[in-house]
Chain A
Amino acid sequence: MCMDVPVPQDYLLSTNELCFERDGRRLFEGINLRLKAGEMVLIEGPNGCGKTTLMRLLTTLLSPTSGALCYRGEPLEKVRYEYLADLLYIGHQSAVKLALSAEENLAWMAASEGIHDPKSVRAALRSMGLGAVYDLPCHQLSAGQVRRVALSRLVLTRAKLWFLDEPLTALDTEGIGLITGRLQGHLDSGGAIVLISHQDLAIGAVRNYDLTKRCA
């Protein structure tokens, strides 16, 4: 069992006393996050308190020193692949290949989820305002446009759990508006989001999680 008190299945993600140490230095402890469908958590805290580290723990890129992660009430060791198949992570580095075009990049990201549909790839890029540049190699695009290429995954993905680490950097007001709308849409359709952002978002159901209190 993952927790002393059984976690209902409707918690997409829950953590139990998550603690992380690096080289003997405790970064944070006692992380008890719970995330239901339709909820968004905004991780807050000053620089260096471990926001990105927590994100990497939640996406299994790092393993916690102690504590457990549960997906739909099941411990992660049991449902690791199901969990990974249901999550989408966009980190600081956007995983966009500058040598490839926007279309090739997005087609690969979609293929990683088993979506092989050139038309919807094209449509997703158009909806992100990249309709005119979809066939240019990404090293010819601006930083904001490259960011948009990475974020156009959000249009296509079937993953329920989104982990977004500073998704709005380099985006202009229009881009921020587009993303905000997409996040809201995801929440409305029963998805869940964990977000790190220094910019305010115009989204209703945001729960703030202050990491400063958990820092050692």
Chain B
Amino acid sequence: MVTEVKKWQWFYRLGSPRWFYEITGRWLPWLLCAASLLLASGLFWGLLVAPPDARQGNSFRIIYLHVPAAILALVGYYIMALAGAVGLIWRIKMSFMVMKSAAPIGAALTFIALFTGAVWGKPSWGTYWVWDARITSMLILLFLYLGVLALQRAFSSAEMAYRASAILALVGTINIPIIYKSVDWWHTLHQPATLKLTSASSIHIDMLQPLIVMICGFYVFYVVALCLFTRAEIIRREATSAWVRALVSNESSR
């Protein structure tokens, strides 16, 4: 019995909000440095150094925001659902807090992807909005995020809200591939693929390198944002606990 406890100690320690708060406090400065370094160099490289696109000129450069945001928006949903699943299965409160924090970040990234897509659409398609397959899928993803956000805020009991929204996120996860496939199919049904976006594979290597830097930068930035949101959630939830009180009194006496 005792060895059993020891074996799983790291797992349960991971589930301790206090431990999470302290360890992320130590990591955050480094992560923040890495994120700003990657994002600054990626932006500099992409916006100033990389050559303009033969067909689209300089307007293509918005992909350096659009593509990483879109990727992280989708990945973020899976991270959210995974955190929710861990919370539901092992009853780890910490995991639910991560899940709750992932929702607004993901929704914001989805919105950024949609917005930059619209801005990009104006010079390349002549209109801000077309019912393109990817844009439509992105819009549905935003709706899925909004559903989770709304459900999280609907319950008076925080624990109930955690678990209910985790179930919703899991249901959404199963649906995302179906949504993407069906929207793709729907799009080919209604209009032949004349308006094709530059796909990542046909992109020139000089343009691709900064994009990869930007994607990495967005990943690190995502982790930073997730940590910050989760730390705020921890303080909110654990406000009555002794260690948070000690922390607050330390901060205010400083």
Contact = CB atoms under 8 A, between A and B. Distances in A.
Report A-B touching, CB under 8 Å.
yes
A82 interface: no
B157 A23 contact: yes
Interface in A5-55: 22-25
A24 B157 contact: no
Nearest to B238: A24
Contacts of A22: 157, 159
A24 B157 CA distance: 10
Nearest to A23: B158
A25 to B, nearest CB: 8
Interface residues of A, number: 4
Contacts of A24: 237-238, 240-241
A23 B161 CA distance: 10
B86 to A, nearest CB: 18
Interface string B210-254: 000000000000000000000000000110110000000000000
Interface in B153-181: 157-159
A90 B154 CA distance: 29
Contacts of A23: 157-159, 237
B93 to A, nearest CB: 9
Contacts, number: 11
Contacts of B241: 24
Contacts of B158: 23
B21 to A, nearest CB: 15
Contacts of B159: 22-23
A25 B158 CA distance: 11
Nearest to A65: B91
A22 B159 CA distance: 8
A35 to B, nearest CB: 27
B45 to A, nearest CB: 47
B95 to A, nearest CB: 16
Nearest to B93: A24
Contacts of B157: 22-23
A25 B237 CA distance: 11
B234 to A, nearest CB: 11
A25 B241 CA distance: 10
Nearest to A25: B240
Nearest to B91: A63
Interface in A130-144: none
A23 B240 CA distance: 11
A22 B237 CA distance: 12
A211 B95 CA distance: 33
A44 B240 CA distance: 29
A15 to B, nearest CB: 19
Interface in A88-116: none
A23 B156 CA distance: 10
> Which of A22, A24, A25 has the most B CB atoms < 10 Å from its CB?
A24
A24 B242 CA distance: 13
B239 to A, nearest CB: 9
Interface in A54-82: none
A24 B159 CA distance: 9
A22 B161 CA distance: 12
A197 to B, nearest CB: 27
A23 B238 CA distance: 9
A22 B157 CA distance: 8
A68 B189 CA distance: 58
Nearest to A21: B159
B244 to A, nearest CB: 11
Nearest to B156: A23
Contacts of A25: 240
B185 to A, nearest CB: 43
11 contacts: A22-B157, A22-B159, A23-B157, A23-B158, A23-B159, A23-B237, A24-B237, A24-B238, A24-B240, A24-B241, A25-B240
Given A23-B157, A24-B237, A24-B240, 8 more contacts: A22-B157, A22-B159, A23-B158, A23-B159, A23-B237, A24-B238, A24-B241, A25-B240
Closest 6 CB pairs of A and B: A23-B158, A23-B159, A23-B157, A24-B240, A22-B157, A24-B237
